[in-house]
């Protein structure tokens, strides 16, 4: 099922949570809504589900306008951040709930509901736990039951709110891989919300980066990481370093020295230079480069992070060096970003 969000605005008590957001979700796609807290990602997910109504704009399921439909009519599977399992029901009853509350002919016989529940438990690899209560399950198991329950109603779209947020790192990695497998096996159009970029980049076909109620960029993990289209995305996804520079005559300057980066298309004037700390070339001599004094250095796993003070303004910038690089305190280091981007200051 395709989902199209068209110019949606959402206000809570006149305070806008989403400004004019548009998004096309392809059928069968696994898509991540990624952003810091307060970016509107959960609001967007809840709008798609029908848990909230948009202030303006429309949401289409296929060609059908779903904006005014209730959550029951939309037939979406929603997995809540804290699972919201019904604590007084067994695992099997939780999973069967969506079928049990159907009316008339749409409601399968009790035996069929039980069979479906067992089937789904097999799918989420929890066979044999039918009779347990949610309180008797671990966090990861509850997450799986919540997913099985959402899938029991054969939803058109599967929506997950911070699906791994409450789990520890080990379980989280396991479940991530497992969710990808389930998605590939069932082919549901799936949207999940996360603030964990690693999760979004690793798991999703496409990532929607959001900030302050707006969509900043939509793209594959490669596109988002390699060609961020705004200072926010550059800063939010992965590590980034930034320096105030100016553009003059098609070249990038720091103070009174060109640093060897050609910028023929950029307008003259002040700008901000973004690059990845690890994506640099270290240079020996310095004719057209960025040079600075080492102000601080720390060991991070397999590399060394070095903070440099650049120029008379003592701007600080972070780069990554090989662990065995001889750059010690107060020594001078010269480098040039391999891949970089200018944004107007």
Binding interface with other proteins (CB under 8 A)? 49, 51, 70-72, 75-78, 80, 82, 84-88, 97-98, 101-102, 133, 135, 149-150, 152-153
Sheet holding 76-79, edge to edge: 76-79, 157-161, 189-194, 30-34, 206-211, 214-219
Q: Report DSSP letters for 209-249, one per residue.
A: EEETTEEEEEE-HHHHHHS--SHHHHHHSS--EEEEEEEET
Instruction: State the nearest-atom distance from the C-beta of 206 to other proteins, in Å.
Output: 24
Beta-bridge partners for 333: 292
Instruction: State the nearest-atom distance from the C-beta of 135 to other proteins, in Å.
Output: 4
Instruction: State the nearest-atom distance from the C-beta of 50 to other proteins, in Å.
Output: 8
Instruction: State the nearest-atom distance from the C-beta of 151 to other proteins, in Å.
Output: 11
Nearer CB in complex with other proteins: 101/255? 101
Nearer CB in complex with other proteins: 60/133? 133
Q: Find, among 77, 95, 99, the residue nearest to 189 by Cα.
A: 77
Instruction: State the nearest-atom distance from the C-beta of 103 to other proteins, in Å.
Output: 9
Nearer CB in complex with other proteins: 153/342? 153
CA distance 54 to 23: 14
Nearer CB in complex with other proteins: 142/206? 142
Q: Find, among 339, 56, 126, the residue nearest to 225 by Cα.
A: 339
CA distance 67 to 53: 7
Report the helix count and the strand count for the chain, using DSSP H and E.
9, 20
Nearer CB in complex with other proteins: 158/291? 158
Nearer CB in complex with other proteins: 135/267? 135
Instruction: State the nearest-atom distance from the C-beta of 72 to other proteins, in Å.
Output: 5
Element (H, E) at 206: strand 206-211
Q: What angle do CA 178, 179, 185 make, to 5 degrees?
A: 90
Q: Find, among 154, 124, 140, the residue nearest to 1 by Cα.
A: 154
């Amino acid at each position: 099922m395709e989902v199209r969000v068209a110019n949606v605005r959402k206000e809570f008590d006149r305070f806008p949570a989403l400004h004019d957001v548009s998004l096309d979700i392809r059928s069968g796609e696994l898509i991540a809504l990624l952003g810091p807290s307060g970016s509107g990602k959960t609001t967007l997910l809840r709008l798609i589900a029908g848990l909230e109504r948009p202030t303006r704009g429309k949401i289409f399921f296929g060609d059908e306008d779903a904006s005014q439909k209730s959550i029951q009519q939309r037939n979406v599977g929603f997995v809540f951040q804290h699972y919201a399992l019904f604590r007084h029901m067994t695992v099997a009853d939780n999973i069967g709930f969506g079928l049990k509350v159907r009316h008339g002919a749409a409601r399968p016989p009790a035996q069929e509901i039980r069979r479906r529940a067992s089937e789904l438990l097999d799918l989420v690899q929890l066979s044999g736990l039918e009779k347990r209560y949610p309180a008797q399950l671990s966090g990861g198991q509850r997450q799986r039951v919540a997913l099985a329950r959402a899938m029991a109603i054969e939803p058109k779209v599967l929506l997950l709110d911070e699906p791994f947020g409450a789990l520890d790192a080990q379980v989280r990695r396991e479940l991530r891989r497992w969710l990808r497998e389930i998605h590939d096996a069932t082919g549901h159009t799936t949207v999940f919300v996360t603030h964990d970029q690693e999760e979004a980049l690793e798991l999703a076909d496409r990532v929607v980066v959001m900030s302050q109620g707006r969509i900043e960029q939509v793209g594959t993990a490669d596109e988002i990481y390699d060609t961020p289209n705004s200072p926010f995305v550059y800063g939010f996804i992965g590590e980034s370093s930034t320096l105030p520079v100016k553009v003059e005559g098609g070249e990038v300057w720091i103070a009174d020295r060109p640093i060897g980066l050609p910028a023929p298309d950029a307008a003259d004037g002040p700008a901000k230079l973004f690059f990845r700390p690890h994506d640099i070339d270290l240079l020996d001599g310095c004719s057209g480069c960025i040079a600075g004094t080492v102000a601080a250095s720390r060991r991070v796993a397999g590399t060394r992070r070095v903070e440099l003070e650049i120029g008379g303004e003592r701007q600080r910038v972070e780069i990554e060096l090989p662990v065995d690089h001889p750059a010690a305190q107060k020594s001078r280091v010269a480098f040039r970003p391999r891949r970089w981007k200018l944004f107007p200051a």
